[in-house]
Structures are given as C-alpha cells and as structure tokens.
Structure 1
C-alpha cells in the first residue's frame, strides 16, 4: 500500500469510528421526556440577560407557561443592558408573583467574566429553601414541560448536574454549516452512555444555555466562583463537579428546548471568536485538533474525487461515514431531519473549513486584544 493510500485509509477509519460512535449515541443518549411530570421541591430558574430586549420576552412567556412544578421561582438579572431589557422583561412578567427582576450596573470584578459574575449574583439571590437551581440563556425557547422534565431527569439519575442539550436552530447558510458541529463534536467522539456513568472530568459535556443543578452540589464546589475566569463556564463547572466526585449527565432536550444562538454570519463569527481560542488549551491544542480534522474530513473526499481504484473506494467510504455521523448527530439533537440538515451534512468538508477559519480568527483576536462580546472585553477583568 502506498503512503497516500495508507493516509486515506487512516483518515477514513477516523470517520468510520465517528459514525459508529454517533450511531451508539443516537440510540443510547437519554432524551428529556414530555409530561406529565410533577416536581414538588422548590425550583429556582436564573436568567442572566445582557442586551436581550428582543429575545427575553419570549423566554419569559415560556417560563410563565411551565407546568408540573408546584414551586417555581424565576430570577432575571439585567446585566447592565443598554437596549431596554428591563422594560421588556417587566412588560412580559406583568403581575406574575413568581418572577423577580433585578439589574446590575457594576462591572465584573477582577478575575471574573461577565456571565460568571451574573450567574453568581443570581445564585446569591436564591431563597434558602431552593433545592434545584436552573440557569437558562435568554435565547432559549421552552415547551411547557421542559423544566419539569429536566428536573425529573436530574433526580432520576441522581446527578449533581443535568445538562439538557437544546436543539441548535440554524437558519442562515453560515449557521447551517457551523452550528450542527457543536453536537457532532461530542456525539461522534464520546460515548454518552459511558460518560454519564463516570466522573472523569475529561468526559464532561455541558451547554450553558440550559443547566440544572442540585443546589447543594453547586454550593459545595463554590458555585460559579469556582470558574470565575472561564469563558466556557458551562464545561468548566461540569468538570469541577466531576473532580469533586459528583456526576454530571447529558440528555438531548429537543424538541422540549431549542435556541438560535447566533443570527447570521457576522454574529456567528463574533460569537465563536469569543471562546474558540480556549477550546483546546491554547494554540498548540487547536493546531493539533485542526490538523486531525482536516486530514480526516478533507482527505477522503479528495481521494474520492481524484483517486483511482481502491483509493477512490476507501475515500468514498470515509466521506460517506463522515456524512452519516453528521446526520446521526443532527437527528439526535433535533429528533428529526430536515432537508437543510442533509445538505449541510453533505457539505461537511466545508463545515470543517469554516470551523478552522473561525478558530484561526479567534486566536488572532485573542492575541491582538480584539475579543469583545456585547460591548465588553472578553476574558477575566483585570
């Protein structure tokens, strides 16, 4: 076998392994179950919101419609917004006594990122009898059973943290290329059924858009103060819990929870720039992961197009495996497949290229001090 054939074979093997892992996760990943549920313990939902006047009212309406919770409280923190977030939230809350709206105009302290400081402040406002602490981003949309289903799963699994993975909606071409990679990145590499039963920090998966904590476990590690300077505080706090011997579990939340994280290419690029520089421990890790991704997901389709005989067949097999993994991961996330999902999966090599470009842009912005998100410099305050 020639060196080129060996390289194509190795790359296709990586893709095939990803497809097998995605198949196992499509079958074995737990999914939030629709009601009816009944949760009798006090549940507090915390929503940090900065410049979310156009998205927050929809989430408030969803929270007001939640069912299966006998004792629900909602804390909303307007984190120094400049777009009328408080007014929009107040109008949406109306006279619902379960909601409390507060505002913070203080810049995050030294060693804190904006979101971790906001989450920590919200946790401080919870009442002593709260047993379950939930954090939601303002752009999440919920079915009426979503919170009760997540709390039920938290208690069923006896975990310290339940991480419901929302369906990541994608509407623009840039979003369709990139957003499904979030779920694919763990669905094709990590056996969730195994990860949910272990406390290895390296096997943690979390999505900060929707996190459900046993509050005693949350407080035992120091809450968000334990990850104050992290720009990926969701994954960091899950790892802290696991290091403390606590289990964190992942469940697919679609269609009970969904979100459109970014709207369009420019917002997507700015959003990924905010955190991709930290994803693999620094530039060296990003180069290593990026190189593996490029070889595994560019070489097989190139071999399928340019190769001959057995090399072409191996390349076609590797490319088909990569597309299959994308489709399995997307259907795991959404519970179904749409035509746009199939087109995006076929364009997987372009998705990898877009991801690598975003990673390079994130590292460049980090090195030049140009990282900003919603008017704030990204990273811990100095």
Structure 2
C-alpha cells in the first residue's frame, strides 16, 4: 500500500514536469522601434558582484537601454564602483535610496524608487548577481510585445559551485517545473498559478503602474511572486519563459548563505500552517519515502522516475549534473528550511537579510 502511494507521488511531478518542459517557451525576436528597456538593479553590499553585473547589462544589444543602480545603504564599496563606471557611460545612473520607511522591505522599496526614476517603456528588474545575455533585454521586451504580456520572467541558469549550493538551489526549478501546473505560462490565467523569479523580471510600464507597482506589496519579501499575482488580479497576462538562455546567476556562496536566503522567503511561499503539511506529503512521499520501502519493486520504480524527473529538469535549466545524485538530500533540506521558517514565525522571530530584520507577511 505504501509503496503504491510512493509511486503515485513520484508520478505526479514526473507527469507535471514532462508537460511543463514541453510548454516552457523561449523569448525571441526584436522589440518594436521606440522601445526603451530600463535595467533596474537594487544593490546593498554588492561590491563583489556589481561590476560584472554592469558589464553584462551595458553590453545589451538589440534594444535601447538605460541602467539604473539603487544603492540601498551599502556598507561596502558598491556605490564607488558604480559611480566610477557611471562617469564613463551616460547610460548608467547611480541613485541612493532614501531611508527605509516603516512597513516596507528593503528590496521592494529600492525597486519602487528605481521604477519612479526610470524612463523606459519596459522595466527589467535584475539582482546584482545576475549576468544578462547580450540579447536578453531585447528578447524579453519583444516577447512581451508579441504576446501582449505585462510581465515576462524566467529562472536564470544557476551557477552552482559548492556542495551547499548543490543541496539548496536546484529546488527552485524542481518546484517550478515539477509542481506548478503550466509552469507559469500565460494561459494559466488564475493568480494562484502565477509565478516569477525575482532575479529576472521584465514588466511593461503601463501595466506596472496600473496595479500600483511595488508599493502595492511593500511589506512582502517574495517580490517577484507578489508582482506577478497582482498583475493577474488586475487582468494582465504574465508568463514564465526559459530563463537559462537569458541570464545566469550565482545566488549564494555556500550552504549558510543559501539556507538564510531561502529561509527569509519561505513564509510567503510553502511555509504556512495549512500548506506545509500538504507539501511535506507531496515532497517527502514522492522523493524520500521510496528509499524507506526498498527493495519493493514499486519503490524502486518510484526512485527511477524521481531521478529521471530531476535529471530532465536539471539539464533543461543547464544546472550541473553532479547535483542530480544529491536529489534526496536537496528535498530534505528544502523541507527543513520550510519547517524552520514556520517554527521561527510561530515563535515571533523575524527573518533577517543583509543587516535588516523583517516580519514577513503570511503566505498568500
């Protein structure tokens, strides 16, 4: 009985991933004349990343761009690096965030101020650790225009260099492609089916302003998901495309950074009192339970299906193949992060990031 349940729970993400990998499209083409993409980069203590991020952004081709960096109270050399580059390239502007108002989270506030200062027809929000492909801005803007989309997003190719990253970062694509019907494509119109990766989001300016921009969810930490849902609630179309050809990103430098980074967003995602037990059944039942039921043939079949699913997702996302054998540990760590976040919330402990503490809103 249990081995049949494990097989069914393994088949669920396998069938979902098979459909989503076929559905996941690529942004292509060139935008119409007159398009201006404002590449907007919130930056707090990003001295190790910002120079190469700017190099890639300023190398954009196929569309007119401007690049704005909002220094959000950095305690390192970030503003000096940007200022020196801005002195030699008029397309780049350095801005300084005002003090964080009550009720706002840092990145959301910085993004809101960036949008106010931008001149573009399209706003491309990226993190400072993202490296855009030369044609990424043009392709995303063209896709938005051709498909009448308010928002285009994708998960960049994740650069993974340490064991700690390999145990954590691959969970992003696993959840997006294995458990979200339609993987965020525009035909899944319901706000609950919206998805976005905050590392790489292009939004059409008029649609962004019509739903109140970032100010509409000023208290949120998971800014990408909140923006996509707000746009769909407002009647706009949003879409996830294959992000691996558009950009790459190294999110974290090791296990500790990754743990804390995912922990801060968890309460606005899976880590809710009602949702997390369901997610635990789905994830543990499909990816961990089969190990406990060996040598049952059904359990062995479940494991084979699980690893094939993970391999397909990993290869499509252009993530390193050495992370595939770590898959059971990746699922276990993901669940540990979620349960830790829920426990911390119950104890009233705020999430922290880059010297700030936040009491994130409950997941929506």
Per the normalisation by structure 2, the TM-score is 0.93
Distance in 2 (CA, whole Å) between partners of 1:144 and 1:124 is: 25
Q: CA deviation at 1:156?
A: 1.9
> In the TM superposition, what whole-angstrom CA distance separates every residue of 1:135-170 from its partner, at most 9, and x where no partner exists?
111000112111111111111221110012211221
Greater CA drift, 56-65 or 360-369? 360-369
Structure 1 residue runs of 5 or longer lacking an equivalent are: 1-5
- For 1:116-127, list aligned pairs within 5 A: 116-127=108-119
Assess, with a 3 A threshold, how the Cα gap between structure 1 residues 362 and 39 changes in structure 2: closer, same or farther.
Answer: farther
Distance in 2 (CA, whole Å) between partners of 1:295 and 1:221 is: 39
Q: Which residue of 1 aligns with 2:321?
A: 339
Structure 2 residue runs of 5 or longer lacking an equivalent are: none
Distance in 2 (CA, whole Å) between partners of 1:380 and 1:174 is: 25
Distance in 2 (CA, whole Å) between partners of 1:279 and 1:379 is: 14
**Alignment partner for residue 235 of structure 1, among 203, 219, 225?**
225
Q: CA deviation at 1:61?
A: 0.5
**Alignment partner for residue 10 of structure 1, among 5, 8, 28?**
5
> In the TM superposition, what whole-angstrom CA distance separates every residue of 1:39-90 from its partner, at most 9, and x where no partner exists?
6412211111000011011011111111111x31111100000002100112
Q: CA deviation at 1:380?
A: 6.1
> In the TM superposition, what whole-angstrom CA distance separates every residue of 1:90-142 from its partner, at most 9, and x where no partner exists?
23334111111011241x21221111111111111123xx3111111100011
Distance in 2 (CA, whole Å) between partners of 1:50 and 1:354 is: 27
Correspondence 1:358 to 2:337: yes
Assess, with a 3 A threshold, how the Cα gap between structure 1 residues 63 and 134 changes in structure 2: closer, same or farther.
Answer: same
- For 1:1-382, list aligned pairs within 5 A: 6-33=1-28, 40-69=34-63, 71-106=64-99, 108-127=100-119, 130-192=120-182, 195-280=185-270, 282-304=272-294, 307=295, 312-334=296-318, 338-340=320-322, 344-366=323-345, 367-379=347-359
Q: CA deviation at 1:38?
A: 6.9
Which has more radius of gyration?
A: 1
Is the Cα contact below 8 Å between 2:184 and 2:195 reproduced in 1? Answer: no
SS at match of 1:178: coil
Q: Which residue of 2 aligns with 1:3?
A: none
Per the normalisation by structure 1, the TM-score is 0.89
Is the Cα contact below 8 Å between 1:38 and 1:68 reproduced in 2? Answer: no
Distance in 1 (CA, whole Å) between partners of 2:181 and 2:268 is: 23
Is the Cα contact below 8 Å between 1:230 and 1:379 reproduced in 2? Answer: no
Q: CA deviation at 1:174?
A: 1.6
User: When the two structures are aligned, how many residues end up with a matched partner?
Assistant: 360
Distance in 2 (CA, whole Å) between partners of 1:140 and 1:193 is: 22
CA RMSD of aligned residues (A): 2.0
